[in-house]
Chain A
Amino acid sequence: MLLEMKGVEKRFGGVVALRGGALEVRPGEVHLVMGENGAGKSTMMKIIAGMYQRDGGDMRWRGESVHFANPVEAARVGIAMVHQESLLAPHLSVAENIFLGREIQGRFGMIDRAAMMEKARRLIGEHKFPLQAEWRVDRLSPAGKQLVEICRAIQNGTSLLIFDEPTSSLSEAETHEVFKIVRTLRDRGTGVIYITHRMEELRSIGDRVTVLRDGETVHSEAMATLTTASMIRYMVGREVAALYHREPVPPGAEMLRVHNFCAPPSVRDVSLSVRAGEIVGLAGLIGAGRTELCRAIFGLDPAAHGGLWIEEKPARIRSPRDAVNAGLALIPEDRQKTGLARELPISWNVTMAGLDAISPFGVLRRQREGAITAAEIERLRIRCDTGAQKAGRLSGGNQQKVVISKWISRGARVFLFDEPTRGIDIGAKVEVFEVMDKLARNGAAILMVSSELPELLQVADRILVMRQGRIAGELPGRTTQEEIMRLATLESPETQLQ
Chain B
Amino acid sequence: MIQRLLPFLTLIGLFVFLAVASPHFLTATNLSSVVRQTAVFNTMALGMTLVIISSGVDLSVGSILAMGGLMGTMAMSKGQPIAVGVLAGVLTGAAFGLLNGTLVTQLRISPFIVTLGTMGIVRGLALVVSNGLPVHEIPKAFSYLGEGTVVGVPFVLILLVACAAAVHFVLEHTRLGRYTFAIGSNNDAAVYAGIPVKFHTTMIYAICGLLTGLAGMIEASRLMTGQPTAGQGYELQAIAAVVIGGGSLRGGEGSVTGTLIGGFIMGLLANGCDLLGINPYVQQVIIGAVIILAVSVDELRKRSSA
Contact = CB atoms under 8 A, between A and B. Distances in A.
A320 B193 contact: yes
Contacts of A330: 192
Interface string A358-396: 010011101000000000000000000000000000000
Contact of B173 (A324, A340, A356, A363): A363
Contacts of A364: 173-175, 177-178
A348 B175 contact: no
A352 B252 contact: no
A364 to B, nearest CB: 5
Contacts of B185: 341-344
A323 B195 CA distance: 11
Contact of A332 (B177, B181, B192, B252): B192
A96 to B, nearest CB: 25
Contact of A348 (B174, B182, B192): B182
Interface string A321-336: 1011100001010000
Contact of B181 (A13, A344, A353, A356): A344
A320 B194 contact: yes
A392 to B, nearest CB: 9
A257 B196 CA distance: 26
B182 A353 contact: no
Interface residues of A, number: 30
Contacts of A320: 191-194
B131 interface: no
B287 interface: no
B291 interface: no
**From B177, B188, B189, B191, residue with most partner A Cβ within 10 Å:** B189
B192 A338 contact: yes
A275 B196 CA distance: 29
A102 interface: no
B188 A323 contact: no
B30 interface: no
Interface in B81-125: none
A406 interface: yes
Nearest to A13: B304
B251 to A, nearest CB: 9
Contacts of A339: 189, 192
A406 B193 contact: yes
B194 A321 contact: yes
B175 A356 contact: yes
Contacts of A356: 175
Contacts of B192: 298, 300, 320, 330, 332, 338-339
B252 A343 contact: yes
A428 interface: no
Nearest to A320: B194
A76 interface: no
Nearest to B250: A343
Interface in B248-283: 252-253
A154 interface: no
A355 interface: yes
A342 B178 CA distance: 15
A346 B229 CA distance: 46
A48 to B, nearest CB: 24
Interface string B171-187: 00111111101100110
Contacts of A319: 194
Contact of B194 (A324, A332, A338, A348): A324
B207 to A, nearest CB: 13
B190 interface: yes
Given A321-B194, A325-B194, A344-B252, A352 B189 contact: yes
A70 to B, nearest CB: 20
A338 B174 contact: no
A142 to B, nearest CB: 16
Interface of A: 13, 298, 300, 319-321, 323-325, 330, 332, 337-344, 348, 352-353, 355-356, 359, 362-364, 366, 406
Interface of B: 173-179, 181-182, 185-186, 188-196, 252-253, 304
21 contacts: A300-B192, A320-B191, A320-B192, A321-B196, A323-B194, A324-B194, A337-B186, A338-B186, A338-B188, A338-B189, A338-B191, A341-B186, A341-B189, A343-B252, A344-B182, A344-B185, A344-B252, A352-B195, A359-B174, A363-B173, A366-B173
Given A337-B189, A359-B174, A406-B193, 10 more contacts: A339-B192, A340-B189, A343-B185, A343-B253, A344-B185, A348-B182, A355-B175, A363-B174, A364-B173, A366-B173
